[in-house]
């Protein structure tokens, strides 16, 4: 075996604390008590791995998953998980990358992953194993990071393009100590949107990219749909706080604005910070910092393809291209609704949205529920799991990463 390969003894010996069995207390995959449509079942294939973000599954069924922090992983931010004895459990983990992050994808024999300021790639061998885990190539560097809403999620299309989300650390682009918004918000120059780069070009900066879509406050979920040949992104909406006008009551602030999915094209403008989407009125509304009164609508900006209740936190997006699930799921979107933890508690589920006549349906449905293991209307005790990331396996199974206990769920259809 080539000594540079990820599995080589020399590399593993040098990666202190990176190998070892996952601290699970079960042998083989453990049944998961999720609520699923008829014919579906779920197992927990890894547990207690850490605070997980997004993940990707290789053609061999191995998993690469990003970590939210490196504090408990020996300073490393990516785990490679494998099932060494083929019992359905990811029983071996190896760690690499000296940064935490969110975005992670495999394309054209490369593993792409992000930190809060840039994007890296690792060459893979024919088994989809990283060849040089300690020597990533820098694809993009120097992206803005203000320690809030700073996740960088990614999508790759079939034309060699790489799409990176950059969130805004500000809720409304206000003037300092004021409820007034800044006209010509300068944040839009480097954040609150999606930028397009070349996937095969190294050492790019923001200036090498193209601002593909703007006015998106914070997109954590993003994916390319090969059926429509377009990129879709989820949006975390802004908050209404003590600087917002009195007509944004605590109840209204808990319900608005809608969390959304946009189908992106070059130049798409979703309207942040000048507008927000009211899913109850089904309209784009002028933001209060820019003259809005909770009633004034605007048609100046793009409408979302799908809208969810406020603060549901759509944290990942996956277009299903597999053949395991029934036909109605083909090319439709699975969305993690990470959920809101303040009253009323909602979410903690995976939603599904069918693709109808080349468009996402505006109506979403609950696909996988009960990750929390508690009645959210009357929660008792701590939540068990909280879904965060989505991936599709080579057999068409759906994988879901959890960021509370570090579990990975595998959902299949029989």
C-alpha span between 195 and 212 (Å, rounded): 5
Domain assignment present for residue 251? The answer is yes
Domain assignment present for residue 70? The answer is yes
Band of the pLDDT at 374, cuts 50, 70, 90? confident
Asked if the model's pLDDT at residue 28 lies above 90, the reply is no
Q: How many domains does the chain have?
A: 1
Instruction: Name the residue among 124, 265, 135, 155 with its Cα closest to residue 202.
Output: 135
CATH of the domain at 389: 2.120.10.30
Residue 367 · residue 36 · CB < 8 Å: yes
Domain assignment present for residue 157? The answer is yes
Band of the pLDDT at 144, cuts 50, 70, 90? very high
Q: Report the residue count for the chain.
A: 414
Residue 271 · residue 188 · CB < 8 Å: no
Structural domain containing residue 279: 9-413
Query: For position 366, what pLDDT does the model report?
Result: 98
Q: What is the pLDDT of residues 197-234, one digit of tens each?
A: 999 999 999 999 999 999 999 999 999 999 999 999 99
Band of the pLDDT at 27, cuts 50, 70, 90? low
Query: For position 380, what pLDDT does the model report?
Result: 79
Q: In what order do the strands lie in the sheet with 365-368?
A: 314-319, 333-337, 349-353, 365-368
Q: What is the pLDDT of residues 39-57, one digit of tens each?
A: 999 999 999 999 999 999 9
Tell me the helices (H) and strands (E) count for the chain, helix number first: 2, 31
Band of the pLDDT at 20, cuts 50, 70, 90? very low
Domain assignment present for residue 4? The answer is no
C-alpha span between 194 and 263 (Å, rounded): 12
Domain assignment present for residue 1? The answer is no
CA 286 and chain centroid, separation:
27
Query: For position 18, what pLDDT does the model report?
Result: 43
Domain assignment present for residue 2? The answer is no
Domain assignment present for residue 88? The answer is yes
Domain assignment present for residue 378? The answer is yes
Token digits of residue 39: 């014919």
Instruction: Name the residue among 165, 160, 157 with its Cα closest to residue 225.
Output: 157
Query: For position 26, what pLDDT does the model report?
Result: 47
pTM of the model: 0.94
Q: Which residue has the higher pLDDT, 198 or 253?
A: 198
State the chain's mean pLDDT as an integer. 92
Map residue 214 onto helix, strand or coil: strand
């Amino acid at each position: 075996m080539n000594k540079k390969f990820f599995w080589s003894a020399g590399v593993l010996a040098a990666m202190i604390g990176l190998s070892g069995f996952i601290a699970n207390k079960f042998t083989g995959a453990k049944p998961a008590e999720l609520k699923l449509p008829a014919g579906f079942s779920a197992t927990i294939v890894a547990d207690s791995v850490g605070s997980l973000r997004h993940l990707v599954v290789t053609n061999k069924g191995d998993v690469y998953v990003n970590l939210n922090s490196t504090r408990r992983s020996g300073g490393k931010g990516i785990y490679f998980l494998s099932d060494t004895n083929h019992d359905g459990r990811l029983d071996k983990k190896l760690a690499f990358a000296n940064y935490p992050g969110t975005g992670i994808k495999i394309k054209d024999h490369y593993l792409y992953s992000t930190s809060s300021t840039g994007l890296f790639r690792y060459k893979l061998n024919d088994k989809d194993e990283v060849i040089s885990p300690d020597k990533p190539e820098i694809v993009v560097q120097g992206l803005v990071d203000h320690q809030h809403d700073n996740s960088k999620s990614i999508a790759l299309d079939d034309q060699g393009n790489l799409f990176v989300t950059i969130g805004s650390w500000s809720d409304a682009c206000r003037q300092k100590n004021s409820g007034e918004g800044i006209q010509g918000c300068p944040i839009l120059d480097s954040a609150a949107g999606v930028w397009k780069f070349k996937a095969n070009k190294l050492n790019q900066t923001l200036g090498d990219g193209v601002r593909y879509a703007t006015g998106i406050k914070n997109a954590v979920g993003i994916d390319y749909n090969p059926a429509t040949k377009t990129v879709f992104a989820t949006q975390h909406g802004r908050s209404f706080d003590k600087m917002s006008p009195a007509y944004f009551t605590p109840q209204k602030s808990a319900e608005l604005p809608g969390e959304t999915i946009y189908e992106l094209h070059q130049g798409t403008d979703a309207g942040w910070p000048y507008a927000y989407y009211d899913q109850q009125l089904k309209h784009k509304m002028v933001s209060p910092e820019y003259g809005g009164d909770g009633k004034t609508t605007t048609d100046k900006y793009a409408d979302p393809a799908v809208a969810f209740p406020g603060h549901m936190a759509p944290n990942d997006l996956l277009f299903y291209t597999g053949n395991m699930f029934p036909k109605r799921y083909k090319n439709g979107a699975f969305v993690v609704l990470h959920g809101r933890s303040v009253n009323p508690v909602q979410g903690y589920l995976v939603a599904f949205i069918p693709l109808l006549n080349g468009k996402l349906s505006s109506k979403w449905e609950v696909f996988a529920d009960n990750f929390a293991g508690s009645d959210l209307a009357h929660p008792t005790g701590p939540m068990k799991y909280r879904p965060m990331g989505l991936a599709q396996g080579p057999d068409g199974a759906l994988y879901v990463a959890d960021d509370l206990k570090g579990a990975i769920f595998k959902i299949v259809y029989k």
